[in-house]
Amino acid sequence: MSFETYLQTDFIPILALLAILLNSNSKFASIPNAKRFQRLTFFIIGSLLADAITWYMFSRTDLFPLTIMWIANIAYFILATGTSYFWYVYVYYQINGENLTLHQKRNLTLCKIPFLTICVMVILSPWTHALFYIDSVTHAYIRGGGHLLYSLCIMSYIISACVISFVAKRHALFRTEKTDYNFLLCAGIIPLVGFAFQIINPDLLYIWPSSSVGVCLLYINFQEQRISIDALTSLNNRKNLERFLQVKVNKDNCDWYFIMLDVDDFKFINDKFGHMEGDRALQLIAQGLKKVLGNSSSFICRYGGDEFAIIVDGTKDYEIDTLIQSFRDTVWDLSQVYETPFHIHLSGGYAKFVDLQTTPPLRLVAMADEKMYNDKNMRKHKHMKI
Amino acid sequence: MDFILHLNIYMFPMILLLVIVFSMRKNPIQTMHTQLFTQLLLATILLLFTDLLSWISNSLLSLVINMIFFALTPLVSIMWLNYLTFCFQNKTIFKYSLIKKGLLICPLILYYFMLIVTPITHWIFQINLHGQYERGTFFLFPYILSFFYMMISFILCLLSIEKNGLSTQKNKALSYAGLTLIPLFSTLIQNLFLGIWISLPITAVVEFLLYLDFQNQQVTTDSLTRLNNRGCFDIYLRDAVTQPRFGFQLYLFMMDLNHFKAINDTYGHAVGDQALVQTADILRKCLHNNEGFLSRYGGDEFALIRFCENDRVAQEFANQIQRAFITANNELNLPYSLSISIGFAHLHKEWGTPVKTLIETADVMMYQNKKGGR
């Protein structure tokens, strides 16, 4: 295989990855996992470059001294293993969130061991010839006995990333989470398929291009998440609600309800205690809603400033009434636990989906809205009487 | 050997584009914008695929595959033009006047006629006895046609820079103009240096860039009003304070829709949303010929960043906005009346005003304005 092929095969993915790196710069500030993603991108770009450079050296063996060839190959091995390690770390955090438990942190530290072992083995290779060596006379690259270990290490990181995404997908409660984990799973499977192809036919240089596609897929998913999730409460945002409704009204056969919740006198909390406390109140409500609906396949969304929309499966009106009451109770309990200086009262309204003709999405929202305002007015009058 | 080489080089762009298509189809809400883009991507994938297959020598297969390849070559370019036209003018090329449309479509029809008779006349290409491809007399025609469409796309972008008042749109037009040139150059390089096959893969990467930009827009715009959202505002302000302009000062205008809560409570959320959209439209019109960065700050709050000479000019601009609302109220004839309160503050260079203070000062002035106004 000529050097031109290697160069061109690596060159196009490098361009695409550089584009991601440029695009991600300055727009990432608020997302914690962004740094890890950027590190992954750096490593994979490095691997692609090192790959092209080492192949160039082997096509022009007369040009380069032995030391430089050793260094380039060592760099390649470290970058390649690093790519798979950071891939795993990124996926791990993407699934488990930023606040890891002590146990999870220990697991992640243990996962570093194979990566470090390979690094040590590679650096010692000029003396031990463990992973590879370069013949001092012919300048030929020859695999060492430990090469299999290196391949295994890379594969096991990517496979583990796939496994944890698959497990997370099985345990996911909400539909949007499921699609996210699906993305992570696909992103891992693509390099594995590329790997398999290259093993079957060594002429197909698929490992790095397919890994690059995987990273691009991770980035697309990362962006999609930012598009569809509200940054403050990490609930779905309104755009995602529209998408979800579109699917729900066309496909789902079971009965379901659209619920609208609104915080009473939110403006008062904001004005009296400042915007920070207002934000905290919203986060607290989001936490409460998630807690109540934790075991069902429902959809929770921040609809607007202080409004929340929920879609739940159910058949009877009184079930929904109880549900709204339990929202109120849970949020009340949480505000007691966190000792907030304000009280949070929720007003709620709901509408049942009948069919697309009688209750199109917009009508559904309007109906729930109306009911919510009735609820709110009723409670206000009650307050006045007291 | 050439087939394996192409198999290696084309795998990445093909899978990448396929992945993008899948992630776009996942979204149940398909707009004209996404449809046009998906079509462009699919055409490019097919072009890559046929180019790849054309390296297998087999006379009958080669003929069919080369026919498809040459049919797609100018088609991808015209789809590109179509997509950019939609991005900047919000219409497809089929909505152009008859003359423009004729100028664009006629060469394509002529070309397709030539392509159809090519198996007999060998005008564009021919397949020799060994099943290999050979150039025909007019082999340059499809490339010239593609070049023509790409140049028109480029000119379209340049014209949009002139026309657009909003700085974000201007930047977009500029970057799209640059992106259009990249496939042109890569085609040139491919033709100059033998053995380099980067034209189509680079086109695919540029389409990936277009997709990233499409995603960025969704990240940075507020879905209801189509203005920039809060996150985008924060980044813009952070950058803007570090880039002073000579003779100008950075002014921040905070605007709040009056009686929004009342509109919402009386008429419901749907009408409340409509009021916000109308407000955004009026503000956008005010800015049409001026530079400035407009965004939705929160529920019913809007923020505008603009460079003005002094307080008097800024006040004049605020008055201009207020007048626009009075005019709009008369025109729209709504059950409620739209009005806003405006407060503004400017960056004191010598004091090094922090961004937070800037927002707070503008906010306080807005509330005073609101009390006075009501």
Instruction: Give pLDDT tens digits for A115-153.
Output: 999 999 999 988 988 888 888 888 888 888 888 899 999
Residue A380 touches partner B, C-beta closer than 8 Å: no
User: Within its chain, how far is the Cα of A131 from the centroid?
Assistant: 34
Tell me how far apart the alpha carbons of residues A176 and A229 are, in angstroms, rounded to a whole number: 10
Residue B171 has pLDDT above 70, yes or no: yes
Burial A175-200 (b: 16+ CB within 10 A, else e): ebebebbbbbbbbbbbbbebbebbee
Residues within 8 A of B (CB atoms), A 27-86 only: 27, 29-30
Q: pLDDT band for position B196 (50/70/90)?
A: confident
Condensed to tens digits (0 to 9), the pLDDT of residues B98-145 reads 898 999 999 999 999 999 999 888 888 888 877 778 888 888 899 999
Q: Are A308 and A266 in contact (CB under 8 A)?
A: no
Distance (Å) of CA A69 to CA A7, A42, A48, A139, B13: 17, 22, 16, 9, 30
Query: Is a pLDDT exceeding 60 seen at residue B76?
Result: yes
Higher per-residue confidence, B348 vs A324 = A324
| Burial per residue of B9-23, b for 16 or more beta-carbon CB atoms within 10 angstroms, e otherwise | bbbbbbbbbebbbeb
| pLDDT confidence bin for A101, thresholds 50/70/90 | confident
What is the Cα–Cα distance from B295 to A70, expressed in whole angstroms? Answer: 55
Q: Residue A145 corresponds to which amino acid?
A: G
**Closest Cβ opposite residue A242 in set B29, B197, B205:** B29
| ipTM of this complex prediction, to 2 decimal places | 0.85
Mean pLDDT of chain A: 86
Q: Which stretch of B106-115, B141-150, B234-243 has the lowest confidence by average pLDDT?
A: B234-243
Q: Which residue has the higher pLDDT, B283 or A26?
A: B283
Give the sign of the dihedral formed by CA A316, CA A320, CA A325, CA A330.
positive
- When pLDDT is averaged across residues B296-304 and rounded to a whole number, the result is 86
Q: What tokens does A302 get?
A: 């921040």
* pLDDT of the residue at A138: 80
**Pair A2, A59: CB distance under 8 Å:** yes
CB spacing of B19 vs A220 below 8 angstroms? yes
Tell me, what's the pLDDT at B288?
67
Give the pLDDT score at A41.
95
User: Do residue B269 and residue A366 have CB atoms under 8 angstroms apart?
Assistant: yes
pLDDT recorded at residue A386: 44
The answer, for A373 touching chain B at a CB cutoff of 8 Å, is yes
Q: Mean pLDDT over residues A10-35, rounded? A: 81
pLDDT value, residue B38: 96
With a cut of 50, say whether residue B74 has pLDDT above it.
yes
Place of tokens 């749907």: B270
Nearest neighbour of A373 by CB, restricted to B223, B231, B265: B265
How far does B89 lie from chain A, in Å, by closest CA?
A: 24
Distance from the Cα of A352 to chain B's closest Cα (Å) equals 18
pLDDT given for residue A277 in this prediction = 79
Closest C-alpha to A255, from A316, A312, A314 = A314
In angstroms, the CA B324 to CA B374 distance is 18
Residue of higher predicted confidence among B185 and B245 = B185
Q: How far apart are CA A225 and CA A194, in angstroms?
A: 26
| Portion 146-185 of A in contact with B at CB < 8 A | 179, 183
Distance from CA of B180 to the nearest CA of A (A): 15
A102-121 pLDDT tens trace: 999 999 999 999 999 999 99
Residue range A205-226, pLDDT digits in tens: 899 999 999 999 999 988 888 8
Distance from CA of A164 to the nearest CA of B (A): 22
Q: Which two tokens stand for residue B105?
A: 């479509």
The pairing of strands A346-352 and A256-263 is antiparallel
Chain segment B21-48, per-residue pLDDT in tens? 998 988 877 889 999 999 999 999 999 9
pTM for this entry = 0.85
Mark which residues 197-226 of A lie under 8 Å from B by CB. Answer: 203-206, 209-210, 212-213, 216-217, 220-221, 223-224, 226
Residues of B in contact with A363 (CB under 8 A): none
Distance from the Cα of A303 to chain B's closest Cα (Å) equals 11
Among A227, A246, A252, A306, most B C-beta atoms within 10 A, so best to mutate, is A227
Residues of A whose CB is below 8 A from B215: 220, 223-224, 227
Residue A156 pLDDT > 80, yes or no?
Answer: yes
- When CB atoms are compared, the residue of A5, A220, A250 closest to B23 is A220
| Residue A190 pLDDT > 80 | yes
Spatial CA neighbour of B76 closest among B137, B143, B18 = B143
What confidence tens digit (pLDDT) does each residue in B319-338 have? 999 999 999 888 888 888 88
Q: Which of A221-230, B183-192, B285-294 is most confident?
A: B183-192
Phi-psi region of B90 (alpha: psi -120 to 50; beta: other; left: phi over 0): left
pLDDT at A358 over 60: yes
Interchain CB distance below 8 Å, B28 and A203: no
| Cα Rg of chain B (Å, integer) | 27
